[in-house]
Structure 1
């Protein structure tokens, strides 16, 4: 195999008429998708002078052309730069300038934003024109393929560079965790500008010769209708998507019988969400990883042990993982520590940031910044981000644990917990809460709710009510935007 585009060509050779992609009522066969990739490669190389290593940006919702450009870049040894279409023009400007994008394919709805962000970057409509094709190219599995900027929950995003081989190894692990074959039907609704939406099911499915139904973006009613109509066997979510599905009027009566499993990741999953999905007789698989791991690293497996509640599973088939102390020494089971990862699915570094790369990659291990425990059988449970951990009077408080209890309050819709400096205890927890529509709650009532369930030192010192929490596209809270408010409203 020369590069990842070769896999599409081989699947097209074996089953040319097999549907590779479905999009807005149209079906694209593997033969047609292979030809689309070849035309895209020709367009990039001949019409726009794209060379190996050049960055090709995309600012668009999910679309077949998005995937064609990915594999065309693989053929040419170029690098795809997926852009988050939810970002403001100044945020996009930073990424495009930092990555030095050669050109950008854009969906018409975002053309004005792109012009404002980077008027000097050549803009092309997201389209693969008819015409000549490049069936071969210099790209190899050793070449970088994806430059994905992290979601920026702590400030300026960093560009994680992923090689083609990282996607290949990641796909092997997806096949393992899902039991995925060419017979599967994938419903893909999470954004392709994140490695989760692109690489947990979508690119692995195309590597396996399966069929992917693409939704431009997630909408709960649309997703439930598609599950009933298109009969997908696998569907990828994040906890925010699960909550939206549970709140949809059609959830209770939705026909989910085609689904072999629903997968989820991006943040710890509360037991209530697991119970709500499994009550519909659909297994819920958990995937743990990061942008830097492509993202699959640790997972529960379809047909495996799903009885361990919120555990995110075992290290993947092709990825090593351990729970370690600050020196990198592996800790005994039950002891909290940082998750370290090693494998060919890992990124090759941050784009033009050797300092940040060296800070998180030590002796071949990527330090994730996530705190987890490992049980006696090796199963991981991820608790929180290391930098989110609150140390109060020498005791460790994991905000995710406190947030879980806060969300059990009947009037609380959303919760985020941060640490505030304290002269006596070093830090104390502060809770930011969004109430359910029409509900009224007070700080003392919330504190009493927590005190009945957790140790006294974990009860939030202050409770701040707000209309909304700042979140990333995948629903993660942007804690750095809340931090300046700690103490200002107490």
Structure 2
């Protein structure tokens, strides 16, 4: 017997185990061809129709001489075509770069130049903006209406090529608080794993409904829209926050996860309180509970009769590492301790990579199938963030005795004062217990004696708040070395923010 003959079956097995997004979507489309896949305003597409439309887009890519691994940039609002393009890229073996059109011209130029797209698909309402960027290296495809005329000459049949699940599918741009956005490369493998984790976390039914209203250039609508389509559910496209339409949908359809995000929960609660409505059925609401006023969480869960998702994840990780628990209906939570997400290997480590003890803060070090494939064309950052063969998130958590996890802060915000580590969020959390204070931001200041000391910027709802009151509040709960050495009152509009609303701490430090 030739020993080499033993290896051929193993190779065939390995090949059969390599599923990709395109193959899985085509399989579910064949199983439920007449089920509704996408709803966009008055337009509805069945799985058969969505399969055909994405095939037409794939053939359009072929007509533009694209090859596997090429990048196609997309500059669109939320619409059915966004999902068609993602599926077409998956079928062809391309990488779709989701441009955040809310960025500044400089940031948008950088995002585009970073990935060097061969083709840019742009909405007719954004052509002028794109033209003003002066990007001439890529051909433009302008879309409007339902694209029937654009696609009519392209076949609705397409033969899937062989594709490794580690191949890139999406580039989503992270909105850092310093510097320019980085392009996070998300593979077929990661999207499939995120879909499976999503299904396990929420026990989603076969005919699930997902409302994709948050921007498609961020992970929430993209990850969970594709997850829904890979399971045979229906995605409802909304181009941004449309509260009346959202209320109409919660009365009409059953929804596993209704996404509510910081900045809109209070408004949505007020609108719900102002009119009669009846929920068809929601399993869980919300996201990023740490960033939402806790009384808004209690009000939202009461009105919608659904628990609030106590999530902690990132573009780079999906819902991992700590999205395993919910805040129960009607509760204004005292604690936002989180449960670890299943199917991820989470460790909390010190700067030398050693695991810290229970109760001690440590940086999240992660491995697992939901992870992205690194930052596009950024080897230095990849070497640093993937040191030791694990992804270091830059977020600091603390594991409690019961196994739950508490968020502490970002590593890069840590202040080293006299040999002690101070995390700004520790101070901010104490100060925000005074309901007259709307925003507290702690940054570092260079100090000749201690090296660095904390300084706090405050936005107050009530002008009666005094510096002495803030000092007394901090002294009652914080160690002396964590006491802010300076308190500065500021108006909300004076806080420097990125286009996604993140406060740019490095610019506040320059004001000190």
User: Structures share a fold, TM > 0.5?
Assistant: yes
- Cα separation, partners in 2 of 1:371 and 1:253, compared to 1, 3 Å: farther
- Cα separation, partners in 2 of 1:110 and 1:479, compared to 1, 3 Å: farther
> Are 2:19 and 1:5 aligned?
no
> Are 2:82 and 1:66 aligned?
yes
Equivalent of residue 275 in structure 1, options 298, 308, 318: 298
1:311-353 deviation line (CA, Å, top 9, x unaligned): 2311332x21111112222222111100011012222222122
Aligned to 1:332: 357
1:448 offset after TM fit, Å? 3.9
**Residues of 1 paired with 2:246 and 2:167: CA distance?**
35
Aligned to 1:398: 423
> Are 2:495 and 1:480 aligned?
no
Equivalent of residue 316 in structure 1, options 342, 347, 358: 342
Out of 381-390 and 283-292, give the one that drifted further. 283-292
Aligned residues: 482
**Residues of 2 paired with 1:303 and 1:220: CA distance?**
23
Aligned to 2:282: 259
- Cα separation, partners in 2 of 1:434 and 1:383, compared to 1, 3 Å: same
> Are 2:155 and 1:155 aligned?
no
- Cα separation, partners in 2 of 1:253 and 1:465, compared to 1, 3 Å: farther
Aligned to 2:203: 179
1:398-448 deviation line (CA, Å, top 9, x unaligned): 222333333333333333221222223332222233334x85544444444
Contact 1:224 1:251 in 2 (8 A): no
Q: Which runs of 5+ in 2 are unaligned?
A: 1-17
Out of 359-368 and 391-400, give the one that drifted further. 391-400
For normalisation by structure 2, the TM-score amounts to 0.86
**Residues of 1 paired with 2:222 and 2:315: CA distance?**
11
Aligned to 2:39: 22
1:41-62 deviation line (CA, Å, top 9, x unaligned): 111111x222111110111221
Give the 3-state SS of the residue equivalent to 2:158 in structure 1.
coil
Give the 3-state SS of the residue equivalent to 2:263 in structure 1.
helix
Contact 2:311 2:325 in 1 (8 A): no
**Residues of 2 paired with 1:456 and 1:253: CA distance?**
51
**Residues of 2 paired with 1:479 and 1:472: CA distance?**
10
1:210 offset after TM fit, Å? 1.1
For normalisation by structure 1, the TM-score amounts to 0.89
Give the 3-state SS of the residue equivalent to 1:339 in structure 2.
strand
1:125 offset after TM fit, Å? 1.9
Aligned to 1:345: 370
Contact 2:319 2:341 in 1 (8 A): no
Aligned to 2:142: 125
Equivalent of residue 240 in structure 2, options 209, 212, 217: 217
**Residues of 1 paired with 2:361 and 2:196: CA distance?**
29
1:109 offset after TM fit, Å? 2.5
Contact 1:188 1:202 in 2 (8 A): yes
1:82 offset after TM fit, Å? 0.3
- Cα separation, partners in 2 of 1:444 and 1:113, compared to 1, 3 Å: farther
> Are 2:93 and 1:93 aligned?
no
Q: Which runs of 5+ in 1 are unaligned?
A: none
1:59-112 deviation line (CA, Å, top 9, x unaligned): 122111111111111111110000111112221111111111112111223222
Aligned to 1:379: 404
**Residues of 1 paired with 2:266 and 2:498: CA distance?**
16
1:236 offset after TM fit, Å? 1.9
Give the 3-state SS of the residue equivalent to 1:239 in structure 2.
coil
RMSD: 2.8
Contact 1:274 1:284 in 2 (8 A): yes
1:163-213 deviation line (CA, Å, top 9, x unaligned): 1111111111111111123222112211111123311x2221111111111
